[in-house]
Amino acid sequence: MLSENERWLVSYYRASEITGAMFFGRIAKMQRPGPVQADLTQHFADEAQHARWFTECMESLGITPLKLSFAYQDDYLKTAGVPSNFMEVLSITQVFEKRILHTYAKHLRVAGTPTPVKRTLQRIMRDEKWHVEWVRQALQDLEPEYGKAHIDATLERHAAADRETYRRFLDEHGQRVEFLLQVKGSAA
């Protein structure tokens, strides 16, 4: 069984995956057909699948997801700003996907995490690793157009926004995720 805080967090993960699916679906639709559009399409399909897996996980534990009207990405865009070009979309995606991997890995280390939650996190992390890799490659492919230094500076700007967003997330929801913060080596 999940505690109420764990139920909230898994529901939050689910809401964030739904938000990601919707975002990448819109971005994929705007791209010309080709390898990047194919990767974006796979990415949004993965995000939607992740939300479904979190739903199934919770149902297997006899609970329903909470309906949350916000996701991590909502605050993220307030801090980082709306991306002004495709390179910035990829940059913010790269930083965000790394945050997700870090958070899910931390959750896996929490003692007493129910097996269905662990299995779901592990399953999703395989896709998230691919997300990081395809976006890294796509950013590298954009170096001739934007310049490596500009891309690196954009990544650092988005990483700073991520740290600020995560800090605010912990300030606002820290009591809900206290069990994650207790994990040894759990730096933000």
Note if the pTM is more than 0.75. yes
In the CATH scheme, what is the code of domain 4-181? 1.20.1260.10
Domain ranges of the chain: 4-181
pLDDT average, residue stretch 61-69: 93
Q: Of 41-45, 138-142, 168-172, 181-185, where does mean pLDDT reach its minimum? A: 181-185
CA proximity to 99, closest of 31, 155, 43? 155
**pLDDT value of position 136:** 98
Q: How confident is the model at residue 183 (pLDDT cuts 50, 70, 90)?
A: low
**pLDDT value of position 188:** 46
Rounded Cα distance between 101 and 99, Å, is 5
pLDDT average, residue stretch 64-85: 86
